[in-house]
Amino acid sequence: MINLPEIRIRIREQERSYPIYIEQGGRYELGKLLRDWYQGDRVFLVSDHKVNSLYGQEIGQVLDKAGLTVVTYLLPQGEKAKSFSYLEKGYELLLENDFKRDHLILALGGGVVGDLAGFLAATFMRGLPYIQIPTTLLAQVDSSIGGKTAINHRKGKNLIGSFYQPQMVLIDPGFLTTLAPAEFRNGMAEVLKHGLIADREFTSFLLEKRDEILKLKLAELSRMIYYSCRIKAGVVTEDEKEQGIRAHLNFGHTIGHALEAVTGFNKYKHGESVAVGMIGAARLAQRLNYLEQAAVRYIEELLSSYDLPLSFQYAEDTGQIFEYLFYDKKVKANKLRWVLLKGIGSACLAEAVDEELVKDILEGLK
> Catalytic site residues?
126, 148, 190, 232, 242, 246, 250, 253, 257, 270
Query: Which pairs with CB-CB distance under 8 Å and at least 24 residues apart come from 299-307?
Result: 299/196, 299/344, 301/207, 302/192, 302/195, 302/196, 302/203, 302/206, 302/207, 303/189, 303/192, 303/275, 303/278, 303/279, 305/207, 305/210, 306/185, 306/188, 306/189, 306/192, 306/206, 306/210, 306/214, 307/185
* Residue 111 within binding range of ligand NAD, rule CB under 6 A: yes
For ligand NAD, give the closer residue by CB, 141 or 353.
141
CB 69 within 8 A of CB 104: no
* Residue 146 within binding range of ligand NAD, rule CB under 6 A: yes
For ligand NAD, give the closer residue by CB, 108 or 344.
108
DSSP-derived pairing of the beta strands 346-351 and 337-343: antiparallel
CB 73 within 8 A of CB 46: yes
* Residue 178 within binding range of ligand NAD, rule CB under 6 A: yes
Binding mask 227-266 for ligand NAD (x = CB under 6 A): ----------------------------------------
CB 138 within 8 A of CB 114: no
Q: How far is the CB of 291 from ligand NAD (least distance, A)?
A: 25
Number of residues binding to ligand NAD, judged by CB under 6 A: 29
* Residue 136 within binding range of ligand NAD, rule CB under 6 A: yes
Q: Name 180's Cβ contacts closer than 8 Å, sequence gap at least 6.
A: none
Query: Which pairs with CB-CB distance under 8 Å and at least 24 residues apart come from 69-74?
Result: 69/41, 69/42, 69/43, 70/42, 70/43, 70/45, 71/42, 71/43, 71/44, 71/45, 71/97, 71/99, 72/45, 72/47, 73/44, 73/45, 73/46, 73/47, 74/47, 74/48, 74/49
* Residue 31 within binding range of ligand NAD, rule CB under 6 A: no
* Residue 273 within binding range of ligand NAD, rule CB under 6 A: no
* Residue 220 within binding range of ligand NAD, rule CB under 6 A: no
Q: How far is the CB of 118 from ligand NAD (least distance, A)?
A: 7
The correct pick among 128, 133, 138, 198 for binding ligand NAD (CB under 6 A) is 138
Q: How far is the CB of 271 from ligand NAD (least distance, A)?
A: 8
The correct pick among 23, 142, 260, 272 for binding ligand NAD (CB under 6 A) is 142
Q: Is 328 helix (H, G, I), strand (E, B) or coil?
A: coil
* Residue 112 within binding range of ligand NAD, rule CB under 6 A: yes
* Residue 186 within binding range of ligand NAD, rule CB under 6 A: yes
In angstroms, the CA 28 to CA 7 distance is 19
Q: At residue 35, what is the residue type?
A: R
The correct pick among 23, 115, 260, 272 for binding ligand NAD (CB under 6 A) is 115
The correct pick among 179, 224, 344, 365 for binding ligand NAD (CB under 6 A) is 179
* Residue 175 within binding range of ligand NAD, rule CB under 6 A: yes
Judged by CB under 6 A, the stretch of 133-141, 202-210, 257-265, 316-324 that binds ligand NAD is 133-141
Phi, psi at 250, each rounded to 5°: -85, 10
- Which class for 216: exposed (0-12), middle (13-18), buried (19 or more C-beta within 10 A)? middle
Considering only residues 67 through 86, tell me which ones interact with ligand NAD, judged by CB under 6 A.
77-79, 82
* Residue 193 within binding range of ligand NAD, rule CB under 6 A: no
Q: How far is the CB of 295 from ligand NAD (least distance, A)?
A: 26
- Interface residues with ligand NAD (CB under 6 A) are 48, 50-51, 54, 77-79, 82, 109-113, 115, 135-136, 138-139, 142-143, 146, 148, 157-158, 175, 178-179, 183, 186
